[in-house]
Amino acid sequence: MFLDLIENVPNEQKGIFERIVSHKLPIILYGMGDISRRVTEKLNGKGIEVAAYAVDAPYRLNDSFMGKPVYDFAIIKKSPEKYVFVSAIGDASDGMPLKRFLEDDSIIHYTISKPDVDHEEITYEYLSDNREKFQRTYDWLSDEESKQTFVAYLNLKVSGNVLYNFNAPRAGRQYFNKTTQMFAGGGHS
């Protein structure tokens, strides 16, 4: 049964802004792209100021971003007790910088999974109350990759933990592109 594959855990996004400021430390956003801009705007809208940005050395294109300094993440994380880090990068093609960041227990870090919207999360109780419908949907999926993606997505929504994104298949592109291209008139290659 698909519900056995769903984690019944508290959603990490609940109270995230309060937890971020509770440390009373400067906030460093990990990333300096569009997601960083959106996370900065979200934090600013909640009255939370971003002190600086940090990225892995190959991604450090400038010394400042949105009027704040940009640091090499490898250097700034050597003083983890001085900062709170908030993930502000999308999943790169291989996803490894984000995954390494999320799994780094040496730093205080948070991830705001949806910086653009305030919404209610999908709860385990909701899935349980509607288990027959979700089970039917799961059973209709014709391959294991689709089922794995479905479960990863629901675990992400229930938990608020973006690490579940890494449980979905990753082949460098969407695995169903040949099918969608065929429907768009492109045929199989």
Task: Tell me the pLDDT of the chain (189 aa) as tens digits.
Answer: 889 999 999 888 888 899 999 999 999 998 888 889 999 999 999 999 999 999 888 888 889 999 999 999 889 988 889 999 998 766 555 556 667 777 887 788 888 777 766 666 789 999 999 999 999 999 999 989 899 989 998 998 898 887 887 777 765 555 555 555 555 544 444
What pLDDT shows up at residue 132?
Answer: 97
Domain housing 171: 121-183
What pLDDT shows up at residue 96?
Answer: 60
The CATH number that applies at residue 33 is 3.40.50.20
- For 84, residues 6+ apart whose C-beta sits below 8 A from its C-beta are 20, 23, 25, 26, 27, 28, 108, 109, 110
Residues 149 and 71 in one domain: no
Instruction: Tell me the pTM.
Output: 0.74
Residues 137 and 160 in one domain: yes
Q: Of 84, 111, 138, which marks where a domain is finished?
A: 111
Q: Give the strand order in the sheet containing 84-87.
A: 64-65, 68-72, 52-55, 27-30, 84-87, 109-111
Q: Of 89, 111, 133, which marks where a domain is finished?
A: 111
Contact 184, 178 (CB under 8 A): no
Residues 90 and 128 in one domain: no
What pLDDT shows up at residue 107?
Answer: 81
Residues 23 and 106 in one domain: yes
> What are the backbone dihedrals phi and psi of residue 86, each rounded to the nearest 5 degrees, phi first?
-125, 125
Residues 101 and 128 in one domain: no
